[in-house]
């Protein structure tokens, strides 16, 4: 009888490769930025700058050095947690990102949480409709929703929601940032406004932030939940028609237990999709952040690119890539924990 | 942002050589079975046609102010006018050429580059292919929009640049898909039989591998064409894609959004609808193809 | 046979597909207590579908259109879902055709068996686990604990089959339905599985319905049999008698195609009828 490796062995194997893989990821980030044609300094100063000014800037920012030495500086900076200094804000890039990341994190985490809350029960319900007319209707709705949500530009959806709920109905706050201008931000403990507001009992800040996050979260959730729902419905439907469900039912196990078995078997692919979507949301919530002026991580990246702020762009891409890599790693581990066949 | 491009079907449809189609009877069956496919293709064709014929059918020129700005939809202006006084309806029509043109061109280009390389890499089992696949896997972790943005910002706002950028970002997907399909098909009995029978490689590739791999590739291509459109409009929305006065749906939305808070909804809503309908059509086509592949597989 | 003693009585069972076709056509069946009945037929004969209908576990696309099913005195077809729920497991247990695929892939064997025992006997976890280990020992596993800790994909086909038999023991049914229990097993394993089944049902006084397309299995392990074809029973009777003097042409074909004399004489089964 063959036996699957224990989860511990599997985890160790995956984590052992962590450092070398991280190294590859940050190198890829560096290469990616360098791929972009043009001279960063010239781009930053714009078309009307003199050659002299450009050259001065190059020396000042250290990009007159050879590529290899720049790479070396990049790596050594990384080892110290230093991503350089932004050309625009003159602040450390790590500081810039640190200031902006919490908003993005709250945005995408809330999005993912609500997406799962809608998609998983929804998908199970669609799958449980069984056979006949109701089932076909349910699947048609799920399919229609999937197609629609995938076809809508999310920035357009966000604007539509602003139009309806702020301009027309006046029930949502305007797209002017995370907090109302007359509300003071809560004392910073974790850096996450929602959490800090709760911890310090600052209800006005909490409700203000929550209200401002409502439309962005709804927009992203609408788009994110769709593929999750379709996948859950599809996987559950398959599971409910499988041999092991048939056997479990034949042997008299309760419906609840049978559904639990089916859900257990489908947990891995569903969570994988959710994880991939989460990783994509890190850089993918950009336009929503911009529309709602949330001042997030993605928005920072966009502004950096448009201004040709080279270190900021490099820092952003490095962080985003590393984050995605870490998320995929966690995903792998979770998959290994849930499904022994994967090990 | 669509993640569908990374969740592509990777199974091969291998079970045998393709059957030839049979004329009108097949077409009638196709309509009954694949209403989505026909509807989707019809919409895409319609949009492409509109784009092509825009100069002929648009009531007003795309970049000439006809007078009052921010007029709501009404007589003479089906979709109203924008803040500069352009007719929104005409601009929506003109924008079709840019948007669907870029989407189709970029998809075609990345197919033309990615698929042959992928098939070759899969068939010859070369290490270079494995390396290329691994490298492209690594780059998949990076936020696509920002990378596209960086490339677009650096390269300049021309439609042709966008075609190359989107094609460049998409080609690895087809490379990987084609390679995986080919690798699986390579081991299929009917391919082995051809090899043993002495058929020459190019012939095997064209007659056996390509038709069987074509299904998933086309399904993926259709989804990606829609995704290319969303990307293009997103880039233009932030100002890094196609720039005014050239009409482009995303740029139009950006322009319209400046007046949204004042209640003037039409410059924002209509271009977005156009995007949605077109991408929806691509999605319908892709789904129909996928369903067809599944159905064929089940029948076998 | 006196009607009131029958453990299972099926009258006029008709099962149709959603597309309109008929898979089982007005079938009548009787099973006595402590008896092993064979259902013999090729693929598509309706034998598996019949038993699925008896447990009310028809797949999507098939529906029971008519008929009466009485089990152990209770009329299942009149009692609704409750009646069937009472019968599944405790009354009728299944030995599935593909045992590896019939076990939940992401859970270990132990929890699956424990859940089954607790469901039917209301036992505590420890007691259920002990019962599971005992059942595994009964089906000749030398190391029950190892099996309890294993995942289904780690088991071989033969081992998985014995696990499902052990699970049937845990449910402690009156009727065992063995659906092609020897598929995918080599000859030696087939023999040991069938021997095991025979031993267990004799031990506990169970009845068994043995579904198979394999004449050898039916001939050697059943008391009576029904030969099925195209959703109907074409011949029934005491196994030994039917094999000695087959009355129906189809039965004769089946036997001729697989006995040595028949093959020597050049007999071939009608193409789509018999599968081996």
Which residue in chain C is spatially nearest to A241 when comparing CA positions? Answer: C59
B149 interfaces chain A, CB cutoff of 8 Å: yes
Please compute the mean of the pLDDT values over residues A32-45 and round it to a whole number. 72
Is chain A adjacent to chain C, meaning 3+ CB pairs within 8 angstroms? yes
C49 interfaces chain A, CB cutoff of 8 Å: no
d(CA A300, CA B108) in angstroms, rounded, equals: 33
Res C21: pLDDT: 85
Res C149: pLDDT: 93
Contact: C88, A252; criterion CB under 8 Å: yes
Grade residue B17 by pLDDT with cuts at 50, 70 and 90: very low
Nearest Cα of chain A lies from the Cα of C212 at a distance, in angstroms, of 18
A22 interfaces chain B, CB cutoff of 8 Å: no
Rounded to a whole number of angstroms, the CA Rg of chain A reads 24
Res B157: pLDDT: 76
The least confident of A116-130, A176-190, A255-269, B16-30 is B16-30
Q: How many CB atoms sit inside 10 A of residue C243's CB?
A: 17
Please compute the mean of the pLDDT values over residues B176-198 and round it to a whole number. 82
Predicted confidence (pLDDT) per residue in C38-94, tens digit: 999 888 888 889 988 988 888 878 888 888 999 988 888 888 888 888 899 889 999
Contact: C154, A268; criterion CB under 8 Å: no
Nearest Cα of chain B lies from the Cα of A154 at a distance, in angstroms, of 7
Q: What are the structure tokens assigned to A329, written together?
A: 């790693």
Please compute the mean of the pLDDT values over residues A325-342 and round it to a whole number. 82
Alpha carbon of A237 to those of A130, A136, A246, B52, C104: distances in Å?
8, 12, 13, 44, 15
d(CA A256, CA A262) in angstroms, rounded, equals: 10
Please compute the mean of the pLDDT values over residues B105-128 and round it to a whole number. 87
Chains near A with 3+ CB pairs less than 8 A apart are B, C
Q: What are the structure tokens assigned to C233, written together?
A: 């029973």
Q: Which of residues 97-136 of C touch A (CB under 8 A)?
A: 98, 101-107, 115-116, 119-120
- At residue C271, φ and ψ (nearest 5 deg) are -45, -60
Is residue B138 within 8 Å of residue B267, measured between CB atoms?
no
Closest CA to A315 of A301, A299, A295: A301
d(CA B169, CA B159) in angstroms, rounded, equals: 15
Contact: A302, B239; criterion CB under 8 Å: no
Contact: A339, C104; criterion CB under 8 Å: no
d(CA A127, CA A138) in angstroms, rounded, equals: 8
CB-CB neighbors (< 8 A) of C107 in chain A: 261, 264
Please compute the mean of the pLDDT values over residues A305-328 and round it to a whole number. 86
What count of Cα atoms within 13 Å lies in the side-chain half-sphere of residue B300?
12
Is residue C62 within 8 Å of residue C237, measured between CB atoms?
no
The least confident of A291-305, B21-35, B115-129, B270-284 is B21-35
Contact: B7, A227; criterion CB under 8 Å: yes
Q: What are the structure tokens assigned to C82, written together?
A: 């409750």
CB-CB neighbors (< 8 A) of B284 in chain A: 147
B43 interfaces chain A, CB cutoff of 8 Å: no
Contact: A150, B4; criterion CB under 8 Å: yes
Res B299: pLDDT: 46
Q: What are the structure tokens assigned to A180, written together?
A: 């109302």
C96 interfaces chain A, CB cutoff of 8 Å: yes
* Residue A106: pLDDT over 70: yes
Contact: A251, C88; criterion CB under 8 Å: yes
* Residue B3: pLDDT over 50: no
CATH numeric code, B30-299: 1.10.3720.10
Q: Which residue stretches of chain C have pLDDT < 50? A: 1-3, 267, 269-276
């Amino acid at each position: 009888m063959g036996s699957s490796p224990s989860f511990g062995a599997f985890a160790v194997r995956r984590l052992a490769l962590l450092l070398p893989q991280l190294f590859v990821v940050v190198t890829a980030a560096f290469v990616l930025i360098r791929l972009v044609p043009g001279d960063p300094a010239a781009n930053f100063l714009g078309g009307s700058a003199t050659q002299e000014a450009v050259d001065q800037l190059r020396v000042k920012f250290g990009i007159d050095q050879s590529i290899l030495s720049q790479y070396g500086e990049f790596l050594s900076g990384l080892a110290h947690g230093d991503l350089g200094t932004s050309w625009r804000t003159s602040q450390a890039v790590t500081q810039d990102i640190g200031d902006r990341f919490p908003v993005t994190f709250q945005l995408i985490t809330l999005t993912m949480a609500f997406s799962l809350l809608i998609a998983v029960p929804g998908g199970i319900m669609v799958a449980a409709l069984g056979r006949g007319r109701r089932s076909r209707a349910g699947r048609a709705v799920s399919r229609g929703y999937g197609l629609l949500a995938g076809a809508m530009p999310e920035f357009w959806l966000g604007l539509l929601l602003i139009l309806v709920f702020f301009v027309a109905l006046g029930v949502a706050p305007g797209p002017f940032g995370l907090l109302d201008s007359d509300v003071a931000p809560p004392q910073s403990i974790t850096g996450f406004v929602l959490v800090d507001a709760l911890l310090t009992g600052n209800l006005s800040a909490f409700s203000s932030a929550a209200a401002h996050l409502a439309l962005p979260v709804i927009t992203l959730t609408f788009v994110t939940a769709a593929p999750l729902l379709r996948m859950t419905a599809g996987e559950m439907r398959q599971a409910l028609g499988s041999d092991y469900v048939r056997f479990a039912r034949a042997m008299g196990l309760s419906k609840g237990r049978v559904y639990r078995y089916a859900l257990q078997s489908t947990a891995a692919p569903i969570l994988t999709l959710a994880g991939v979507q989460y990783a994509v949301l890190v850089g993918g919530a950009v336009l929503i952040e911009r529309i709602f002026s949330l001042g997030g991580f993605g928005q920072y990246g966009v502004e950096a690119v448009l201004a040709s702020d080279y270190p900021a762009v490099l820092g952003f891409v490095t962080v985003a890539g590393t984050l995605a890599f870490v998320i995929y790693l966690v995903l792998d581990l979770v998959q290994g924990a849930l499904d022994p066949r994967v090990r | 942002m669509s993640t569908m491009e990374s969740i592509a079907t990777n199974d091969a449809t291998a079970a045998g050589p393709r059957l030839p189609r049979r004329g009108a009877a097949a077409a009638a069956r196709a309509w009954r079975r694949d209403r989505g496919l026909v509807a989707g293709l019809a919409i895409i064709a319609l949009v492409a046609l509109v784009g092509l014929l825009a100069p002929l059918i648009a009531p007003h020129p795309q970049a000439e102010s006809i007078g009052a700005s921010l007029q709501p939809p009404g007589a003479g202006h089906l979709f109203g006018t924008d803040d500069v006084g352009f007719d929104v309806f005409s601009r929506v029509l003109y924008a079709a050429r840019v948007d669907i043109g870029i989407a189709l061109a970029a998809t075609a280009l990345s197919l033309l580059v990615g698929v042959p390389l992928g098939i070759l890499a899969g068939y010859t089992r070369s290490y270079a292919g494995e390396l290329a696949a691994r490298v492209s896997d690594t780059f998949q972790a990076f936020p696509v929009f920002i990378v596209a943005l960086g490339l677009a910002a650096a390269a300049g706002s021309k439609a042709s640049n966008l075609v190359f950028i989107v094609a460049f970002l998409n080609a690895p997907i087809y490379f990987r898909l084609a390679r995986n399909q080919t690798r699986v098909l390579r081991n299929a009995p009917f391919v082995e039989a051809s090899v043993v029978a002495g058929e020459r490689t190019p012939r095997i590739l064209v007659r056996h591998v390509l038709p069987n791999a074509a299904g998933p590739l086309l399904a993926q291509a259709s989804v990606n064409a829609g995704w290319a459109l969303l990307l293009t409009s997103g880039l233009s929305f932030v100002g890094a894609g196609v720039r005014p006065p050239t009409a482009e749906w995303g740029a139009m939305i950006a322009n319209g959004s400046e007046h949204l808070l004042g209640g003037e909804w039409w410059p924002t809503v209509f271009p977005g609808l156009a995007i949605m309908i077109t991408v929806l059509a691509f999605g319908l086509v892709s789904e129909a193809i996928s369903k067809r592949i599944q159905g064929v597989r089940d029948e076998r | 046979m006196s009607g009131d003693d029958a453990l299972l009585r099926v009258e006029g069972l008709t099962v149709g597909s959603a597309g309109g076709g008929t898979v089982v056509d007005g079938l009548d069946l009787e099973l006595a207590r402590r008896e092993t009945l064979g259902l013999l037929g090729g693929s598509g004969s309706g034998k598996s579908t019949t038993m699925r209908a008896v447990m009310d576990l028809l797949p999507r696309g098939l529906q029971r259109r008519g008929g009466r099913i009485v089990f152990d005195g209770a009329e299942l077809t009149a009692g609704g879902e409750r009646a069937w729920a009472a019968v599944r497991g405790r009354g009728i247990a299944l030995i599935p055709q593909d045992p590896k695929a019939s076990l939940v892939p992401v859970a270990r064997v132990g929890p699956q068996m424990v859940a089954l025992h607790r469901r039917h006997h209301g036992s505590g976890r420890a007691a259920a686990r002990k019962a599971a280990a005992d059942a595994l020992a009964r089906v000749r596993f030398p190391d029950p604990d190892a099996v309890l800790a294993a995942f289904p994909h780690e088991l071989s086909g033969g081992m998985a089959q014995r696990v499902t038999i052990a699970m049937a023991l845990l449910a402690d049914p009156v009727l065992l339905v063995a659906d092609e229990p020897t598929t995918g097993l080599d000859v030696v394993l087939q023999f040991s599985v069938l021997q095991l089944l025979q031993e267990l049902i004799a031990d506990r006084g169970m009845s068994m319905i043995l579904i198979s397309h394999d004449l050898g299995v039916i001939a050697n392990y059943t008391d009576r049999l029904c030969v099925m074809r195209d959703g109907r029973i074409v011949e029934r009777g005491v196994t030994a008698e039917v094999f000695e003097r087959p009355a129906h042409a189809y039965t004769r074909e089946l036997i001729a195609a697989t006995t040595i004399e028949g093959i020597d004489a050049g007999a071939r089964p009608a193409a789509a009828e018999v599968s081996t």
